[in-house]
Amino acid sequence: LGYFSPVILATLYWSFVDQAFFRLCRIVYSTKRFFQHLYLYVSIFPIQFILICLLTSPIYFWHDVEYLTTEYYCYVPYINYRSIIWLAFICYGIPIIFIALMYLHITIFLRRQTNNQRLLIKQRQDRDLCVIRRIVITICLLLALGIPAIILLIMLFITGEEYPLLMRIEWFFVSLSMFGLTLFTSVFTPQLKNIIFKIFQHNRITIRDEGVPGLIPMR
């Protein structure tokens, strides 16, 4: 469990890389048949999951996953700076770098486009760029929720003393991040938002005024 927790967290953040890569292929490499093939996107997830498992495996071979007696579960203690920095780079650093590079590449590509392209293509490109911006905003908001834990980690590095509630504070903000991720996904995905609105409207209770039998309406 102490090993698979960062794997699951990394898989979550790397899923945004998949979305950014899909938009990159639609905008920049729309004429390349290889990048439009369905099997490419189907095979990305298992390959990515295997890659994440390999990248996070050093903490297993370093034997840094320990049983935390104060928390009653297995995880990497924050006193193991090597593993903590490595996990932070794998879970947060690499996805943010990839998404930023893709966003920059798409922005430069769109600025170099001429104004003579068809309106339909331009609208699709603008829509895809908007999706990339939403992904960047979502990542930034999720990272902002981790600021309290980062501050406590910096205090740990300086003083060498671990705050007693550090793990609980971190998992609280991780849970808050998952809630925020669900909310942002619902708001920023038009199709999903329309489905939720339809379900909400379908379940609404409406009161119909059909009158009471036997009563004469007042004039």
Domain boundaries, the chain: 4-202
For residues 105 and 24, what is the distance between their CA atoms, to the nearest angstrom?
A: 8
Residue 54 has pLDDT above 70, yes or no: yes
Among 56-60, 68-72, 91-95, 127-131, where is mean pLDDT lowest? 127-131
Residue 115 has pLDDT above 60, yes or no: no
Percent of the chain scoring above 90 in pLDDT: 2
**pLDDT at residue 50, as a whole number:** 92
Question: What is the arithmetic mean of pLDDT over 14-36?
Answer: 81
Among 29-38, 177-186, 206-215, where is mean pLDDT lowest? 206-215
Question: What is the arithmetic mean of pLDDT over 38-45?
Answer: 83
pTM (2 d.p.) = 0.69
Q: How many residues does the chain have?
A: 219
Which residues, 6 or more positions from 128, have their beta carbon under 8 angstroms from its beta carbon?
A: 23, 26, 27, 106
Task: Among 9-13, 20-24, 51-55, 131-135, name the most confident range.
Answer: 51-55
Tell me which residue of 35, 48, 28, 17 sits closest to 128, measured CA to CA. 28
**pLDDT at residue 70, as a whole number:** 77
Task: Among 114-118, 123-127, 135-139, 158-162, name the most confident range.
Answer: 158-162
For residues 106 and 27, what is the distance between their CA atoms, to the nearest angstrom?
A: 7
Long-range contacts of 159-168 (CB under 8 A, 24+ apart): 162/77, 162/78, 162/79, 164/70, 166/78, 167/68, 167/70, 167/71, 167/75, 167/78, 168/71
CATH of the structural domain 4-202, one choice from 3.40.1190.20, 3.10.450.350, 3.30.1490.480, 1.20.1070.10: 1.20.1070.10
Question: What is the arithmetic mean of pLDDT over 78-103?
Answer: 84
Residue 213 has pLDDT above 60, yes or no: no
